Amino acid sequence: MTIFKRLHWAVIQAIARRLPPCRAITHLLSESRDRKLSLRERITVRSHLVVCTWCTRFGHQIACLEEALGFAADQPERLVGAETGLADSARDRIRKHLQAGD
């Protein structure tokens, strides 16, 4: 390993030791979808994401989920198999089953 790679990893480890744990960062990433983070929180999250691949992936995953859910809410008719209610036959079966229990 070259001296530059060793120095690079030493800097990353020094930064990582001073940052909050992944649990706190994933919580902030989730909250960032509902509210604007403070400047300090944004700096903390971005600094952590520089050194943590797992939290970066988590951030991408929640962004994809949010986009997919937004798409589903905006255009439910385009989803495969998206129905807005029970089929009449299912509704009848449930009604018969409930009446049989009385």
What pLDDT score does 14 carry? 82
Extents of the domains making up the chain: 3-78
> Tokens 């390993």 appear where?
1
Please tell me the distance from the alpha carbon of residue 91 to that of residue 84, in angstroms, as a whole number.
13
pLDDT at residue 46 is higher than 90: yes
Mean pLDDT calculated for residue range 66-81: 66
Mean pLDDT calculated for residue range 43-63: 92
Please tell me the distance from the alpha carbon of residue 28 to that of residue 43, in angstroms, as a whole number.
11
Residue 25 and residue 45 in contact, taking contact as beta carbons nearer than 8 Å: yes
Mean pLDDT calculated for residue range 21-43: 93
Q: What's the one-letter identity of residue 81?
A: G
pLDDT band, very low/low/confident/very high, at 79 (cuts 50, 70, 90): low
Please tell me the distance from the alpha carbon of residue 97 to that of residue 91, in angstroms, as a whole number.
10
pLDDT band, very low/low/confident/very high, at 30 (cuts 50, 70, 90): very high
